Amino acid sequence: MAQETILLVEDEESIVELVRYNLAREGYKVHIAMSGEEALGIMRTIKPSLILLDIMLPEIGGLEVCKRLKSEESTINVPIIMLTAKGEESDIVAGLECGADDYVTKPFSPRVLLARIKAVLRRSQEEPPSEQAVIQHGDLVIHPGRHEVTLADQKIDLTHTEFKIMHYLARRPGWVFTRYQIVDAVHGQDHAVTDRSVDVQIVGLRKKLGDAGSCIETVRGVGYRFRE
């Protein structure tokens, strides 16, 4: 049985009861906040293992709550899953860019939600490899020190940007990164590269990797991830 504590920030009673019931059945301890302001108040007294956060909340909206929590040193590492009816591409991107770790739209399957919670908790408890650690994924090996990628012991000739994108994604397998996050990580926040240029780099990467290129997955409307 799970031992983690989850803070559910939701103002619809029916959703609260549905989620509370399913979480409790799995052994999670559940705290409820009915508004963004209440959620921030609770976070001053407890540190949950994970937050389920609606976007459309009274007083302070979910995106603002997420930004505040991700800007505070004491709460920056608490994983957040957006749980909301706002399912447009722009909404998903906005949620992930403000720091959310995942995004689930209503209506949702309780079983799928529980699976997403377990996946995010598992990833949050895993330490990413250091910047210089060698990463191996089957026959694919990424060697930061040598700035080199090999596939079945054959060196893959990547550009500097292609290598940085590959390394950035591979350090957090399973995590979804938006195009803007990838641009910022690879080039810096002030770089004049458009987010769509990432698509071009990914196409080039996959072509050079051949069948192994499937390790880089497209998350439609959001960005990319390195397959777990």
Q: Specify the number of domains making up the chain.
A: 2
Q: Which residues fall within 8 angstroms of residue 55, CB to CB, at 6 or more apart?
A: 61, 62, 63, 82, 84, 86, 91, 95
Do 113 and 11 share a structural domain? yes
- Determine if residue 86 is left, alpha or beta; phi over 0 gives left, psi from -120 to 50 gives alpha, anything else beta: beta
> What is the SS3 assignment for 29?
strand
Q: Are 141 and 94 in a shared domain?
A: no
Residues 209, 157: Cα–Cα separation, whole Å: 10
Tell whether 151 and 89 lie within a shared domain: no
Same-domain pairing of 38 and 115: yes
Contact status, residue 153 vs residue 144, Cβ threshold 8 Å: no
Q: Residue 123's pLDDT is what?
A: 78
Q: State whether 20 and 70 are in the same domain.
A: yes
Which pLDDT does position 133 carry in this prediction? 85
Confidence of residue 195 (pLDDT cuts 50, 70, 90): low
| Whether residue 115 is found in the same domain as residue 23 | yes
Looking at the structure, tell me whether residues 121 and 163 fall in a common domain. Answer: no
What is the b/e burial string over 89-102, where b = at least 16 CB atoms within 10 angstroms of the residue's CB? eebbbbbbbbbbbb
| Structural domain boundaries enclosing 147 | 135-226
* Residue of 92, 32, 88 whose CA lies nearest to 57: 32
Non-local CB neighbours of 103 within 8 Å, separated by 6+ positions = 81, 82, 84, 92, 95, 96, 222
Say if 130 falls within a structural domain: no
Q: pTM for the full model?
A: 0.65
The H or E element containing residue 202 is helix 197-209
Concatenated DSSP letters of 83-122: EES--SHHHHHHHHHTT-SEEEESS--HHHHHHHHHHHHH
The arithmetic mean of pLDDT across residues 70-95, rounded, is: 85
Across the range 75-97, mean pLDDT stands at 84
Residues 13 and 114 in one domain: yes
Here the CATH number for the domain that contains residue 159 is: 1.10.10.10
Q: What is the CATH number of the domain that holds 55?
A: 3.40.50.2300
Do 38 and 121 belong to one domain?
yes
| Joined tokens for residue 184 | 């910022």
* H/E stretch holding 76: none
Are 41 and 142 found together in one domain? no
User: Does residue 48 have a cis bond before it (omega within 30 degrees)?
Assistant: no
pLDDT at 192 exceeding the cut of 50: no
145 and 69, same structural domain? Answer: no
Q: For residue 128, what pLDDT is reported?
A: 62
**pLDDT of residue 188 exceeding 80:** no
Residue 216 contacts residue 224 (beta carbons within 8 Å): yes
